[in-house]
Structure 1
Amino acid sequence: MKLAKRTPQLALLAIAVSTALSAPQLAAQETEVKEEIRLERIQVTARKTSENLQEVPLAVTSIGAKELSEKGIAQITEIQQFSPNTTLQTSRGTNSTLTAFIRGVGQQDPLWGYEPGVGIYIDDVYIARPQGAVLDLLDVDRIEVLRGPQGTLYGKNTIGGAIKYVTKPMSGGTEFNAEATVGSYSQRDVKLTGQLPIVDDKVYVGFGFADLSRDGFGEYLQSALANQDRENYNKDLWAARVDLEFRPADDLFIKLNWDKTRDTSNAKGGYRLLPSLLTNAPVPDSVYDSYTSLPTSNLVELEGYSLMISYDYSDELELKYIASRREGYSPTNIDFDNTALDIFDVPAEYKDENSTHEIQANYSTDGYSLVSGIYLYDGESCGNFDAILGFLGRAAFGTPGLTREVTGCNNSESWAAYTQASFDISETLSMTVGARYTDEEKTAIVNNGLVFANVYPQSGWIPGYVRPDGQLVPTVLGDDANGDGVLDGPKSQSWSRFTPRLGLEYQAADNILLFASYSQGFKSGTFNPRATINEDGVNPEIVDSLEVGMKADWNDRLRTNVTLFSFDHKDRQYVGFGEGNSATDLQQVLRNVAETSATGLEAEVTYVATDNLTFDLALGYIDEKIEVNNAIPPLIGLSNTPETTVNLSANYFLETNVGGFVINAGYYYRGDYLLFETSDLLEQDAYGMFNVSVSWESNEGDWYASLHGKNLTDEEYLVGGYDFVGVGPNGELLPGLGGDTTLIGYYGDPRTVHLTVGYRF
């Protein structure tokens, strides 16, 4: 990774730009400003209470429903363009699995048992697994991106930050909204949302439904199975939610929610970057074309319930209870080698269910506020995968096939208590002090071994397949409680952690906030879900972060929010090879083997140039160092983390006799980045993309339409991949696991255009 040491220069540049932009505006403060020219006041709940964004001493990006609609943002991955130092991308294999990194911290591998580094929340309910976390935006009020460790208020697994999906509150009246979208690759979307009062001023019901479909960006050129749907990168998904709100008294509010998502899009095939040594199929002409020997069918299914009860005990004290239960099931087909041969195929199942309970007490009065609570989490994460190396089994052993089969569970029970207080020291100086204590116990069991046949998770997985009983070899990860050498139960381990936060805030002027803070977060300890030996669990990852920042509204025209940060990331967890092993070996060991650090800059600038024209700039820069490097193979950089991200956009409003038009144009730039931290064989060069949107709303506000062009330069950029090749002494590429040169890339969306038409009343 090409990293220059330019943090001080960029910091000076950001300050210079802010000063240059603000100078004429400061002079204009003495003159009358038109009422129409005003910066938007943005309310967020980043600190679990409603606050003005400009008064929150955190690096937060908030994108509201109006902006999401005007820019045609349809799913959560597109938010990365507007939040500095943020990566939100669709992972390999499915359309619904999320790869999330903020400031270089996240989780690459979506296997059960591994914990994310960026927390995803829907209305403060934690989404524990990346499967299904690529959320299509339905009935959303805003998306908030909290950058940096959020270990005090949000707890474990938010060491990079948190993404909050906030749904629209009910207005109390009768509303209905219907919209349809058509676009490139036969895109056909329908969304219906609405609300209805059941008992006036007491009971309301809201609903949302979306049916989203699109043909594939590419196709499977060859398939070993007949009658398969050959579309690749297609979309076939529906999602629904129902909300029930009940206000039995002025001081009591109850909300019950149900949501479900079912994604039956095809399994996503990767692009072979190298010709296969074992087949004669050429490298495809399109990066969206692939080959496969597995079924192309795939499923990601999620369902959840949540309950929130809020009671205003007094004008100053709010008591709140939040409970949730979520389940997920994903049978998936991942062809690692992407050929029509069974060189390296991985059919798999993921099952996840969890429940949470949280009690909050939030107190606020002049000069003092307190957020506190108790949180309980009980989650079960299980799965199985069959790494089929059939070609190798037949060639090397003369057997019907060869499968490394792994099944297991990695379950967690944890509780936490937290509190965070903000109080005034003087009229201009305030302090924030927070702490959280988390106690967690995990139990894990892994069944792992070799079968000299091609094995699939269930009968009928491929046509005519019947799974034999007793296929699996004995357990390899568990406890030997009585010392007789027989593993007789799950392995258990517990961890606890105290995570503090300390901040100072200085109100330099009415609309200028300076802040500095220290915060700590941790990612849970865990067990290796691929264990081939009886491993102990690894310790949690710890991130210590320092931030200094400024949030300034210089007048009604100019806003500059700038943050400088640094962090140390200790005890990083990596699955690597054992001593002397290589890319052709099956044994992989999970260890705490590395420490990294980084410094960086984030700047978000909004300039209202005229009554009709607004400019926005989002700039991110990060400079990383590897402090401790005991990984095998060694680390060479951060994954999914460009040195620089930039978004520059302009928004123009045009009022006409037939309604209002909003024209939005933006350029998004990402510097080069690695897909994996231990290899430069999959590295994406820097690229930029243009997006243009035109939105219209009738004078009556009932009809609306929008036309969106995305990635208009048709950039091809990597968002995922697989690297199973060896490297010789002279840099030559050698066969890896399965006996082939498996170097695979998955790509972001190509150029698309879509038109949305909607009606509301």
Structure 2
Amino acid sequence: MTIHTPASRRLSRAALLGALLSTVAGAAMSAQSAVAADAEPVAVGAPSGVEELIVTARRRSETAQAVPLAITVVGGEKVDATGAFNVGRLQQLTPTLQFYSSNPRNTAVNIRGLGVPFGLTSDGFEQGVGFYIDDVYHARVATATFDFLDVAQIEVLRGPQGTLYGKNTTAGAVNITTNQPTFNFEGKAEVTVGNLNFKQAKAAVSGPITDTIAARIAVSSTTRRGTIYNVTSDQYVNGQDNLGLRGLILYKPSDNLAVTFAGDFSKQDAECCAQIFVRTGATQRPLNRQYVALAAAQNYTVASTNPFDRITDVDASLNAGNKIGGASARVVWNVGEGTVTSVTAWRFWDWKPENDRDFLGLSIVSKSQNPSQQDQYSQELRYNYSGERADLVVGAFAFKQRIDTQGTEEQGPASSRWNITPSNVLSNDPSVLNGLVAKNTQYLKNTSFALYGQLSWKVSDRFTIQPGVRLNYDKKDGFYQRLVFDGDGVPVLLGQTGARRAAQLAVFTPQLSAPSFSDWNFSYDLNASYKFTPDVLGYATYAKSFKTGGINQNGLPTDAAGNPILAAGQIKPEDVNHFEAGLKTQFWERRATLNVSAYRTDIKDYQATVTNGQLGVLRGYLANAGKVRSQGVEFDFSVRPSERFNAYANGAYTDAKYVRFTDAPCPPELSGGTTVGAGQTPGAPGAPGGLSPANCDISGARLPGVSKWSFSFGGEVNAPAQFLANEGEVYFGYDGSYRSRFSSNASPSIYTWVDGYSLSNFRAGFRTPDGLNVFAWVRNAFDEEYFELLAVGPSNTGLIAGQPGDPRTFGVTVKAAF
């Protein structure tokens, strides 16, 4: 259908677009310049007129239905329409993706329950889910907390991907492609306002500079009032204050050569991130050292015991200052029947946090600040060949990273009564622990090299065999030093005697360690696919993969004398065996698509989080669990019977558990008491003053952070209409998601199960073929009360803190394009 637009309407639209661009420019005026990256997906018409997305999952352009692996594709228009402007919201559209973040540093992106250990992070281990933007690997998951900027397409690949991607990934990859420079002048702008003072503005402009040079610049700004009210500071916290900028320059002297220079800069500057009181649960600590008694001893009452009042009284400074950026150069050179691609990149990450690690309005921990700075360099060189009977990808990847961290952890005047046994007279002397400070210095040097390749041998027009191999070398060198000083600035050292020193050393222990790791790994995979009909593809995959070993970079567990256990400095590599089979189908003249996959992933020496109840421990540390298994079934269904209606439903059943973990950390209900000795029997869970096991056998327990059942579903209906003399269509859309309950602790605890929940989002608006789109939206329309995660408070007092999910939000968006 062709719609003719009078000149007056085009002028009014241009005026509106100019106003939108001015708004965005004003919001971004203080942004720093930069430049960013890569290849543009294309949509092609299927026989019925239904669009099929072109993906680059196998480092060549092909339709998503032709790729013999489990992949979810979300187009840029759907990202914008559903409000999925970061990975946290993207998980509502992709049931197999899990995203958890207590702050940008402590962020996990997992697929099928695998990737990184759930909980506090350490610099010394690798991601299991690769995060790529325009072919550039992002080593820091903090990138995932930023707004998507000028996105063309997002591909979520499930299962090991090491034979095609620069960095080895055992659980999958999130491959983001942004819009690229064009030799036709074009632009777009978007402004959104909503409740909670939500304001978001985006714009992008692209066009030629000369006959061979084109440029594109995109900017995004998001602000929102916090969802938690802090009665101590009289301010809302956990808000959003994000700014992003990306610039690209394309040099294309011929059809066979394209060079793209790209750079980006993003920053977050919100007062964040508070986790608030949820509940208490009995531990095996003596009763007078559990939360209720400790709070009563200081006449403390938490601001609210209902977390969905969204009230806190934390008294330490909060900040989530986060800056990420970098530059890259991508060269694509067509040589005969093949293509040589070179991607050179540098990235930085600057993290300036401030936290309240006791989660309360008592000054127990008065300061918790661990800023860090990262530089990473990567070089990937890849050759692609496509022939009548064979396709080939071979590549080399080099990666170098350095992270420096400077930490300060300080105790406050309420610490003595909270952390010293009440029967000890020193518990009534605030000066014993007040001002006690640990100053931590650490660095990580990480180097990785790899050679990889994958061959697709087309045995016949229907049958293809695809083997792949990878050779990888990794080396990590770390350094950690903790210096401890009392409130008078006098060093606190191991071996010093006296009751005051003993109380201080029980909170902060000096430590020095320099763990290191290096290893070679060889991995491979084999995929076979068969095209039963032009619209039905079956495939099966076996992958022998690995996640490289790591080091405990945030301090080590200590022995009875307080010395670090150096043997815990190294973590062994994960050994991964992965099996998968799937069927990709289209029917009803390609109006409907149904893809189904089943998989099983077995991991030996799984890198698991071990938490320590001691207040002064900066982070949890890692240890190897014996064996973990994730297995399940997934489906993706979409239907478009006509241009007036489309719908989708995606689902996943995920059975992810510890098969063997006999020496795991114990949950809080089995912690805090005197460690059980030879011939003694541990006390009952939650029995005050009981004997606690040194560790627990959690074999058979579910992995944290993953629901057994998760679904996403939705649809959109539209009809021709006129609005303010503009011809177009009105539309109504719905997007929903559901996930069943999941454990929010490394070792499942009766206190940290997050109940299942369902979210519903609606939108309704009017749009024209030439790019004007005005719509109203509401997210979490039924104001579902749910938690994103729960956390066990320090010192085994039984405190459980949590992060409530967003309440109902609503607003209006205006978009225009030219």
1:537 equivalent in alignment to 2:542? no
Deviation digits for residues 377-408 of structure 1 (CA, Å, limit 9, x no counterpart): 00012223334343565444524333344331
The alpha-carbon deviation at position 454 of structure 1 amounts to 9.9
Distance 2:607 2:102 in 1: 21
Map 1:282-431 → 2, pairs under 5 A: 282-287=303-308, 288-314=310-336, 316-344=337-365, 345-391=367-413, 394-395=416-417, 396=420, 398-431=432-465
CA shift, 1:267, in A, is: 1.7
Other-structure match for 2:521: 497
Amino acid at match of 1:189: Q
State the secondary structure of the residue aligned to 2:88: helix
Equivalent pairs, count: 675
What does 1:6-405 align with in structure 2 at a 5 Å threshold? 38-89=49-100, 91-94=101-104, 98-107=107-116, 108=118, 109-154=120-165, 156=167, 158-200=169-211, 202-223=212-233, 230-274=235-279, 277-278=294-295, 279-287=300-308, 288-314=310-336, 316-344=337-365, 345-391=367-413, 394-395=416-417, 396=420, 398-405=432-439
Secondary structure (helix, strand or coil) at the match of 1:158 reads coil
Between structures 1 and 2, the one with greater strand share: 1
1:606 to 622, 628, 638: 638
**What do residues 166-200 of structure 1 show as CA deviations (whole Å, max 9, x unaligned)?**
10123311112222110010111111211121002
2:710 and 2:532 map into 1 onto residues whose CA distance is 29
Q: Deviations over 1:534-579 (max 9, x none)?
A: 34311122322111000011232221100010110221123436xx
Letter matched to residue 161 of structure 2 = Q
Contact 1:269–1:289 (Cα < 8 Å) also in 2: no
* Equivalent residue letter for 2:745: F
In 2, distance between residues paired with 1:145 and 1:62?
6
Amino acid at match of 2:716: N
Render the CA deviation track for 1:415-457: whole Å, top value 9, x for unaligned. 00000010111232110000111101111111125332499xx
- State whether structure 2 residue 607 is matched by structure 1 residue 573: yes
- In the alignment, what sits opposite 1:17? none
TM-score (norm 1): 0.84
Structure-2 residue corresponding to 1:9: none
C-alpha distance 341-143 of structure 1, shift in aligned 2 (>3 A): same
Does the residue aligned with 2:52 lie in a helix, a strand or coil? Answer: coil
- Read off the aligned partner of 2:228 and give its amino acid letter: G
Work out the CA distance in 2 between the residues paired with 1:363 and 1:168. Answer: 25
Counterpart of 1:716 in structure 2 is 785
Compare 635-644 and 373-382 and name the one that shifted more. Answer: 635-644
Q: Read off the aligned partner of 1:235 and give its amino acid letter.
A: Q
> How large is the Cα RMSD of the aligned pairs?
2.4
Uncovered stretches (5+) of structure 2, i.e. residues with no partner:
1-44, 281-290, 421-425, 427-431, 490-507, 557-563, 667-695
- Find the aligned partners of 1:298 and 1:586 in 2 and give their Cα distance: 20
Q: Tell which deviates more after alignment, 386-395 or 375-384.
A: 386-395
Query: What's the secondary structure of 2:91's corresponding residue?
Result: helix
The answer to whether residue 596 in structure 2 is matched with residue 552 in structure 1 is no
Contact (CA 8 Å) 1:37, 1:608: kept in 2 or not? Answer: no
Give the counterpart of 1:697 among 752, 767, 772.
Answer: 767
1:473 is displaced (CA, Å) by 8.4
CA distances 1:50-107 after superposition (whole Å, capped 9, x unpaired): 1110010110000112222332322222221222321124x1135x863211111022
CA distance in 2, matches of 1:473, 1:564: 48
- 1:614-655 deviations in whole A, cap 9, x for unaligned? 221101001234221132334432111000111121221222
Distance 1:623 1:426, change over 3 A: same
> Offset at 1:598?
2.4
Alpha carbons 1:97, 1:133 under 8 Å: kept: no
1:290–1:454 Cα change, 3 Å: farther
Q: Closer, same or farther in 2 for the Cα pair 1:452/1:573, shift >3 Å?
A: farther
Residue aligning to 2:714: 649
Structure 2 residue 521 is matched with structure 1 residue 511: no
Q: Specify the alignment match of 1:676 in structure 2.
A: 745
Matches within 5 A, 1:611-760: 611-629=643-661, 630-633=663-666, 634=696, 635=698, 636-657=701-722, 658-680=727-749, 681-699=751-769, 701-724=770-793, 736=795, 740-760=797-817
Question: C-alpha displacement at 1:519, in angstroms?
Answer: 1.6
CA contact (8 A) 1:252 1:309 kept: yes
* Structure 1: runs of 5+ lacking an equivalent: 1-33, 224-228, 456-471, 479-490, 726-735
CA distance in 1, matches of 2:466, 2:488: 58
Match of 1:590 among 622, 630, 642: 622
Cα distance in 1 for residues equivalent to 2:641 and 2:114: 36
Shift of 1:35: 9.4
What's the TM-score once normalised by structure 2's chain length?
0.79
SS in 2 for 1:110: coil
Q: Give the C-alpha shift of residue 589 in structure 1.
A: 5.5
SS in 2 for 1:54: helix
Aligned-partner residue type, residue 719 of structure 1: E
3-state DSSP of counterpart to 1:78: helix
Q: Which letter maps to 1:713?
A: F
Partner amino acid, structure 1, of 2:554: R
